[in-house]
Structure 1
Amino acid sequence: MRLVTAVLPPHRVPDVVKALQSFGVRGLTVSEVQGYDGYTARTEVYRGARYRVDVTPLLRLDVLTLDFDAADLVRVIRSAGARGTGGGVVWTVPVDNVVRIRTRESGPDAV
C-alpha cells in the first residue's frame, strides 16, 4: 500500500478531487496547510503596518491506495492540477499496515 500526498493551491483542489472521483477514489483527506517556496512572498497590512508574508495557504490531499494504483494516481493529480497558474507537489510513501476501525478490516481489504 502507498500513501499519495499532494500539496496544492486551494483553487486547484476541486478539479483534482473531480479527477480522483472519476478515477474511482472512494475517500481522501483534505487538510489546510501553509507552505514556503521562496517565490510567492507578498506584503500585507495589519493595523497600518506593512509586513512580508513568506508562507502561502495550501491544501494537502492524502489518498491511501494499493501499490499498483499509486503511479496512476500521481498522473491523475498531476494532469488535473496542472491547469491554471501556481504550483504544487505530489509524493508517495509506503504504508506498512492500515486498519479500518468500523469494520476491523486490515491491510489491502481496508483500502
Structure 2
Amino acid sequence: MKIITAIIKPFKLDEVRGALSEIGVSGITATEVKGFGRQKGHTELYRGAEYTVDFLPKVKLEIAIAADQVDSVIEAISLAAKSEGGKIGDGKIFITALEQVVRIRTGETGSIAL
C-alpha cells in the first residue's frame, strides 16, 4: 500500500478529482495549505501599498491506494494538474509507503480497508 501526497494549484482540484474518479480512486483527502517553492511568491498592491506574498495558496491531496495503482494515479494527477505549457508552481507528487490501514467502523485492516 502507498500514500500519495500531491500539492496542486487550488483551481485544478476539480479536474484532478475527476481524473482520479475515472480511474477508480474513491477516497481523497483535500486540505487547503500555503507554501512556496521555485515560484517564490509575488507582489500585490493593496490600498496603494505594495507587499510581498511569500506563501501561495495550494491544495494538498492525500490518497491511500494499493501499490499496483501508483503509476495510474501519478499519471492522472500529472495530466489533470499540469497547466498549459507546464509552468512553475504546477505542484509536486510524493509517494510514501503505507504500513497499515484500519477502517474504524468495521475493524477491517490492510488493502481491504482502503
* TM-score of the pair, normalised by structure 1: 0.90
Partner of 2:106: 103
User: How many angstroms apart in 1 are the aligned matches of 2:100 and 2:71?
Assistant: 19
Q: Show CA shifts across 1:54-107 (max 9, x none).
A: 111000111100011112111111111124355111111000001011111111
- Structure 1: unaligned runs, 5 residues or longer: none
Partner of 2:62: 62
- Structure 2: unaligned runs, 5 residues or longer: none
1:91 counterpart = 2:94: yes
**Contact 2:8/2:91 (CA < 8 Å) preserved in 1?**
yes
How far apart are residue 6 of structure 1 and its match?
0.8
Partner of 2:14: 14
Q: Which amino acid aligns with 1:52?
A: T
Give the secondary structure class of the aligned counterpart of 2:19. helix
**Contact 2:9/2:81 (CA < 8 Å) preserved in 1?**
no
User: How many angstroms apart in 2 are the aligned matches of 1:51 and 1:83?
Assistant: 26
Between 30-39 and 59-68, report the one with greater CA deviation: 30-39
Q: Which amino acid aligns with 1:39?
A: Q
Describe how 1:7-86 pairs up with structure 2 within 5 A.
7-45=7-45, 49-84=49-84, 86=89
* TM-score of the pair, normalised by structure 2: 0.87
Identity of aligned residues (%): 34
Q: How many residues align?
A: 111
CA RMSD of aligned residues (A): 1.6
